Structure 1
Amino acid sequence: MPENQFGLVYADALTENVPGQVNLKTVSYLNTYGIEITANLYFPAGFDELKSYSAIVVAHPNGGVKEQVSGLFAQKLAEAGHVTLAFDAAYQGASKGEPRQTDRPANRVEDIRAAIDYLLTVKGVDAKRIGALGICGGGGYTIEVSKSDKRIKAVATISAFNTGRVRRNGFKDSQVDTILDRFNQASAARAKYATTGEVDYIGELLTHRTHFTQEQLEQIPAALYRDGTQYYGDTHYHPNSQSRYTAMSLQDLMTFDAEDHAELINQPLLMITGDISDTRYMTDSIFDKATGTDDKERIYIKGANHIETYWKPEFVSQEAAAVIRFFGEKLA
């Protein structure tokens, strides 16, 4: 991907602010925990703060940053006339917070709520027309927030990832018999940090762009992780994007589950996933348990795996059309 002044690495990204077109402004604000959040605010073409606009918060995947897929969809929604905000989660990307790559559900939930708080201060934003879009892990956390934050009038996800279920049970529930081992690992990591200040991490740290051979990729069995290694480490690499998370975060992650009380979602709901994606089961589980709304829709993108929904033009075009239609109708 060509570099640009905004650091965006997705296809057809903005390279400059041109009057009369979609414009981008990097902003910062404090969440209620006092952590400084950095975000990209997208304004639709011809934005006039004296007019009234719907606004949409876009939450990025686990390990992702605002310059990748969340920015892609924020830009596309801005092109459709919405004010949008793609932010870096606390402890991630350009946002503050130590230890780095702490990944606790309470933090991620607060990130989305704080993003809504900020949007309400933007002149021209209609507080009664706020939407939320979450991608991958951001999708699971957007589901969680929507249960209780009724400022969100419409909620959508793309390739939703239920982080708590996976950290607890393993991918595809393949490690249920070792749950206690992970709790012990998290507890030991917490004790180490308390006594030495040293942080244990899980997951490879991406420090530079790496080109992976087909042979290397084929050694990774799950399509999610195989495609993710290529996306984050090569084709859509960004220096702020890190695949690791603190081991002590498992104490909070493993007791979280986006499926719990999904019936509390009463807003219009759209969930999109690839029909052959190895994470489809997470979208299906949440969608089926979201019985509190009759206004819900599930879309399967034919032939798409999880990571492919982030960037493949033939899939992105279908997803963009769906979320633009959805928010256009529900936030009218």
Structure 2
Amino acid sequence: MESVTFKNKTLDVAADLHLPPGFDSARTYPAIVSAHPIGSCKEQTSGNVYGARLAEEGYVVLAFDATHQGASTGEPRWIEDPGLRVEDFRCAVDHLVTLDYVDEDRIGVLGICGGGGYAVSAAMTDRRFKAVGTVTAVNFGRMMREGDLSPDAAINTLDAVAKQRTAEARGAEPRVDVALPDSPEKADELGITALDVIEATKYYRTPRGQQPHGANKSLFSRMGPAIGWDAFHLAEQLLTQPLQIVVGGVPGEFGAYRDGFELFYRARSGQKDILVVPGQSHYDMYWKPEATEQALGALIPFYDKNL
């Protein structure tokens, strides 16, 4: 593995380049851009699980940290802006096509959780992606709009964002939201019962998946663009690449199960498939071998066929 950086306008995007065994720079290889979940980082599931395994199968895999997050630059920190996130993907391809050992006609993309929604959106507007894979993909805009499930959830959140942004423009301290409790024990103490929140806490707040940059933070005043965004917008028209969707068979509150089926039915792709991994939840798909091996069992032959 090599640590690299590439540019998104003036920002430095930090990435890990996972290389195949016996890598030879005189050869050419297919490549995959691998994108992390919301609040995650390249050292977690997108890199150390899916990226590392796909590299073992002969792919050059570029796992990157979103700008304004992780080891990438960008101030203020913890911005979750879909426009910025999707541009990171385009810039990742810009970097790959400068590498002599990457075949520019054999580049795919993989996104996990929110990274899956961004991967879909990026592929619709960057035809250099020849195959699209998602694991427990979430349409982050949809999730943000639902909020507390009331009819006015999105409007109420946007009103609060507006007030906070005005306050910060006038010198107030930024509001940085932390999505998860500090520990599983704290989640129990708070009486949290939502499956996805409990399992996210067990992943991000324990040695199971904990990494310094996997902070699950967001700058509240910059959440407006996400609330007005739809990862699957124009999928019926623009998403034509081969598509492999993987979801866990145990639905959770974040909605990846239903998002997976919505994407499957909406995508224009002539070749598309959805794998439901029985008995596995959203966060099982990040790390649990019984889950990730089934996901990779679909993804590897999918990329082999289409790249």
TM class, shorter-chain normalised? over 0.9
Which whole-Å CA distance do the structure 1 matches of 2:66 and 2:174 have between them?
A: 19
Matched, 1:252 2:225: yes
CA-CA distance at 1:211 after TM superposition: 4.6
Correspondence 1:70-85 to 2 at 5 A? 70-71=46-47, 72-85=49-62
Residue number in structure 2 paired with 1:181: 156
Residue identity opposite 2:246 in structure 1:
I
* 8 A contact 1:276–1:305 mirrored in 2: yes
**Could you tell which deviates more after superposition, 76-85 or 237-246?**
237-246
CA-CA distance at 1:151 after TM superposition: 0.2
Which whole-Å CA distance do the structure 1 matches of 2:100 and 2:85 have between them?
A: 25
* 8 A contact 2:183–2:201 mirrored in 1: no
* 8 A contact 1:140–1:161 mirrored in 2: yes
SS at match of 2:152: helix
Matched, 1:230 2:202: yes
Which whole-Å CA distance do the structure 2 matches of 1:328 and 1:205 have between them?
A: 37
SS at match of 2:115: helix
Matched, 1:153 2:130: yes
Q: Which runs of 5+ in 1 are unaligned?
A: 1-23
Which among 251, 258, 265 is matched to residue 239 of structure 2?
Answer: 265
Which whole-Å CA distance do the structure 2 matches of 1:58 and 1:161 have between them?
A: 15
1:182-216 deviation line (CA, Å, top 9, x unaligned): 0111111211222216311223478xxx5523971
SS at match of 2:276: strand
Which whole-Å CA distance do the structure 1 matches of 2:290 and 2:151 have between them?
A: 36
Residue number in structure 2 paired with 1:20: none
TM-score by length of 2: 0.94
Which among 312, 316, 320 is matched to residue 288 of structure 2?
Answer: 312
Residue identity opposite 1:134 in structure 2:
G
Residue number in structure 1 paired with 2:251: 277
Residue number in structure 2 paired with 1:201: 176
Which among 165, 188, 191 is matched to residue 190 of structure 1?
Answer: 165
Residue identity opposite 1:313 in structure 2:
P
Number of residue pairs matched by the alignment: 301
Which whole-Å CA distance do the structure 1 matches of 2:169 and 2:23 have between them?
A: 49
SS at match of 1:176: coil
Identity across matched positions, percent: 37
SS at match of 2:18: strand
CA RMSD of aligned residues (A): 1.7
Correspondence 1:41-120 to 2 at 5 A? 41-71=17-47, 72-120=49-97
CA-CA distance at 1:217 after TM superposition: 7.7
